[in-house]
Amino acid sequence: MNPFLAACRREATPFTPVWLMRQAGRYLPEYRRIREQFSFLELCRRSDVAAEVTVSTVQRLGVDAAIIFADILLPLIPMGLELSYEKGGGPRIARTVRSREDVARLNIVDVRDSLGYVAQTVEAVHAALAGRVPVIGFAGAPFTVASYAIEGGGSRNYVATKTLMREQPRTWDAFMSALVSVTAEYLNMQIDSGADVVQLFDSWVGCLSPEDYRRFVQPYMRRLIADLRTGTPVIHFGTMTGTLLEAMRDAGGDVIGLDWRVELDDAWARLGDEVGVQGNLDPVLLFSSIGEIKAAVRDVLKRAGGRPGHIFNLGHGVLPHTPVDNVLALIEMVHEFSAA
């Protein structure tokens, strides 16, 4: 079995598989040249170009998995929320969700019709790689997607989100239930189109306390993961989740993604042997010297201890301006050191 897929199933591998979140991004000159021709959302919708970006990045880096080029907020577009990306900035939502009436106005989504271009990207990547490299499909987890829709963009304190979920629990339930339904259909479409693994990005869930996670997020994540195609490994990822790991494990997923704020061995001991782990190098370390990167890679691998179920990754995405040579060196180091 392919090493990445084997690791997702906690099976022994000849080396530690590695891929990188945001491995196709602005740090690559090839990507920047393509972005000169297309806006971010245009690139997501152009399945031929999105597939080219995905495949060429895998070939350039030599990673062990291809994650499709898309965006976690794409399902909000057919739901009727006006998504845009400011040049050099983050996403903006023109029609925020702040009330029961706002939820009631959301469109009923035909995923295949409205997001079929993502399925076409998956199909094209799957065909181009011909099984040599597994394909990762992905979606934003309901809490993170909801927080963008409620706040109107990114946030530091998530005041509107936390207020809504506490003060309007029925509205929260209706919105999260709608997102669960759309996200399950969206991921299953990707699986049916050739995705070998799917990852749920709960990038901002670390802003919650453990009790709030168990009350306002965990039931929806359980429902979502239970609705995914049986047999497809699920990677469950979040940032700043050191206090939430056990609750995330209990919500579901074959692999729990770790950021750099936890030590991998301690986190895995807390999670137990029934799940794999992914991570967890600090992305900023890739701006350091080769010697520093080498020491950090060795430390992560030492903490993993060669146990089946470890997938090497950063603790979040590759940052803009990251030296490409350092990324290439990192991937070579992971393969070399873990095979020794």
* DSSP assigned state of 229: P
Q: What percent of the residues of the chain are helix, what percent strand, and what percent coil, each to the nearest 5?
A: 50, 10, 40
Domains held by the chain: number: 1
Q: How far apart are CA 134 and CA 227, in angstroms?
A: 22
Catalytic annotation present for 71: yes
Active-site position among 26, 60, 92, 307: 26
Chain segment 122-162, per-residue pLDDT in tens: 999 999 999 999 999 999 999 999 999 999 999 999 999 99
For residues 56 and 66, give the distance between their C-alpha atoms in angstroms, rounded to a whole number: 10
**List 64, 71, 254, 259, catalytic entry:** 71
Type of residue at 240: M
Give pLDDT, residue 90: 85
**pLDDT for the residue numbered 1:** 77
**What is the structure's pLDDT at 169?**
97
Strand partners, 18: 312
Query: Greatest CA span in the chain, whole angstroms?
Result: 59
Catalytic residue among 31, 148, 186, 213: 148
Q: Scan for tokens 């990192």, then name that residue.
A: 330
Tokens of 336: 């070399």
pLDDT tens digits, one per residue of 24-57? 999 999 999 999 999 999 999 999 999 999 999 9
- Is 222 labeled as catalytic in the residue annotation? no
Catalytic residue flag (residue 35): yes
Number of H helices, E strands in the chain: 16, 9
What does pTM read for this prediction? Answer: 0.97
Which amino acid appears at position 326 of this protein?
Answer: N
pLDDT of residue 198: 98
- Residue pair 80/93 in contact by the 8 Å Cβ criterion: no
pLDDT of residue 86: 76
**Residues 124, 128, 129, 135, Cα dihedral to 10°:** -10
Cβ burial 223-249 (10 Å sphere, 16+ → b, else e): bbbeebeeebbbbbbbbbbbebbebbb
Contact 29, 53 (CB under 8 A): no
Rg (CA), the chain: 19
- 100 is a catalytic site residue: no
**Secondary structure E strands in the chain:** 66-67, 83-85, 91-93, 135-140, 197-202, 234-238, 255-257, 276-278, 310-311
User: pLDDT of the chain along its 340 residues, tens only?
Assistant: 799 999 999 999 999 999 999 999 999 999 999 999 999 999 999 999 999 999 999 999 999 999 999 999 999 999 999 999 877 678 999 999 999 999 999 999 999 999 999 999 999 999 999 999 999 999 999 999 999 999 999 999 999 999 999 999 999 999 999 999 999 999 999 999 999 999 999 999 999 999 999 999 999 999 999 999 999 999 999 999 999 999 999 999 999 999 999 999 999 999 999 999 999 999 999 999 999 999 999 999 999 999 999 999 999 999 999 999 999 999 999 999 999 6
Q: Is the peptide bond before 280 cis (omega within 30 degrees of 0)?
A: yes
CATH of the domain at 8: 3.20.20.210
112 in catalytic set: no
What's the residue count for the chain?
340
Tell me which residue range forms the domain holding 311. 3-339
Name which of 276, 275, 286, 272 is nearest 314 in CA terms.
Answer: 286
Burial class (CB in 10 A: 0-12, 13-18, 19+), 272: exposed
How far is residue 106 from each of residues 169, 175, 208, 231, measured CA to CA in Å? 18, 9, 26, 32
Instruction: Report pLDDT digits (tens) over 310-334.
Output: 999 999 999 999 999 999 999 999 9
**Do the beta carbons of residue 54 and residue 194 sit within 8 Å?**
no
Active-site annotation holder among 35, 100, 249, 298 = 35
What integer pLDDT is reported at residue 192 of this predicted model?
98
Q: Give the chain's mean pLDDT.
A: 97
Q: How many CA atoms lie within 13 A of 207 on its CB side?
A: 15
